[in-house]
Structure 1
Amino acid sequence: MSVLKGLTFTAVPRNAGLTPEQHRRAKLAAHLREQLDMAKAQTAGRIHVVKKRRWEYTEDGQKHLIEVDKRLKQWWKAQSDGKIVLTVRYGSKPLEFEKGKGAVVLKGMDELLAILPKLVDAAEAGEFDNFISAVGKPKTGVVARRAS
């Protein structure tokens, strides 16, 4: 007990002091880094695999922590003329940079590998904040029902 008397205790911070904007920026930057890793792996002829942990029950009711592959989707598509179309997504929705334009046209994989680190820096700097907030806005005209 004498060890505990010499310690100073404090409350645990909930979100480590991140504002909602900083959290959204970090989330988008992390996903862009995953896309960069996937692009690097594809150019090297490898498959990029990310593991995640999840709990699974056995037949006898025991709970075990297992590692499974995380399902990753590419945000880019190669076109028949060799160009690549890159869509930046937040959640399941693509970010719309201009009205009706939600993709970036690139010359090839080399340009994709060059632009993704710049997009990570832009996300961390907050350049995507307006686009993220536009994706997260609720639809107008939808009225929520109240329980009577």
Structure 2
Amino acid sequence: MDVLNIDDTKAGAVFLLRQLVKGDNTSIGLRNSMIRADVDDSYFKFIIEGLSEGSYIEESFSMWRITPKGVNYLQEYERRLNVGSDWSIEGNSSAQEKKREEEMQDKALQRSNAKWTKFGFFITLISAILGLLYFLWENIL
């Protein structure tokens, strides 16, 4: 049972891993820290057992400590929170790729708009010159 993939227990499991990064703790200390932080502790025993079975934490002399696997998971979890949760193969999130694609489309649209603006300005200028020449031709000649 992987408590890190169950919506009801994930927040509590990540909270416990963060507490154990700060230092080893007893079961009572961990449960009290969950209560103080207003984290749902109703699944506490289930979470502890799941993290232990998944080798994210281990018990030694009635104290719980985080394992390297737990530290790696927590680092990856924090990195995903900071960057985005949907990852591509290259390590970029699809949100970043979508943003980059939108920026490229915006730049292409701006270049296109600039071309049409210049074209419209020159057509207007030529029309004004032709109108002035027509006016001069009619009134002077």
* TM-score tier (shorter): under 0.3
Higher-helix-fraction structure:
2
**TM-score of the aligned structures, taking structure 2 as reference length:** 0.27
Structure number with the higher strand fraction is 1
Choose 1 or 2 for highest CA Rg: 2
Structure with greater contact order relative to length (CA < 8 Å, sep ≥ 6): 1
**TM-score, normalization by structure 1:** 0.27
